[in-house]
């Protein structure tokens, strides 16, 4: 399951985000500031999702080409992430940190995996 980013209005400044990675059906933006006020543009037909502590990553993806899978800290402990990565190794595009932070420390280690559909 994933959580969609809430748009706060106004215009995005170039300094808030930079492109970290671009692939067929997805773009990963990385925040240049802590807790950016704007999201990068999401083209029609695509979806956008935040991940990482303080939302340092914003992923824009075409749901017809790319699927997103979230793994909780408990699922990672049970080995579900490793099993998934082994099973889907030919389709995995990227694995991102989706940890939940509590002030200066990581509260829960989570991961987001983008995989190619089909």
* Confidence check: pLDDT of 10 > 50: no
Residue located via tokens 């939302």 = 55
Q: Which tokens belong to 57?
A: 């990553």
Distances (CA, A) of 56 to 16, 49, 74, 116: 10, 11, 22, 23
* Confidence check: pLDDT of 1 > 50: no
More confident residue, 91 or 97: 91
Determine the Cα–Cα distance for residues 58 and 118; give it in Å rounded to an integer: 23
Determine the Cα–Cα distance for residues 53 and 96; give it in Å rounded to an integer: 11
Q: What is the pLDDT of residue 42?
A: 95
Tell me the pLDDT of the chain averaged across its residues: 82
């Amino acid at each position: 399951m994933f959580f969609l980013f809430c748009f706060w209005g106004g215009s995005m400044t170039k300094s808030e985000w930079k492109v970290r990675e671009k692939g067929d059906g997805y773009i990963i933006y990385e925040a240049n500031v802590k807790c950016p006020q704007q999201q990068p543009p999401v083209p029609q037909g695509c979806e956008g999702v935040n991940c990482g502590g303080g939302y340092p990553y914003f992923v824009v993806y075409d749901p017809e080409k790319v699927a997103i899978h979230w793994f909780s800290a408990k699922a990672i402990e049970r080995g579900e992430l490793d099993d998934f990565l082994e099973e889907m190794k030919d389709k995995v595009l990227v694995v991102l940190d989706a940890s939940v932070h509590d002030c200066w420390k990581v509260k829960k280690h989570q991961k987001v995996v983008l995989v190619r559909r089909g």
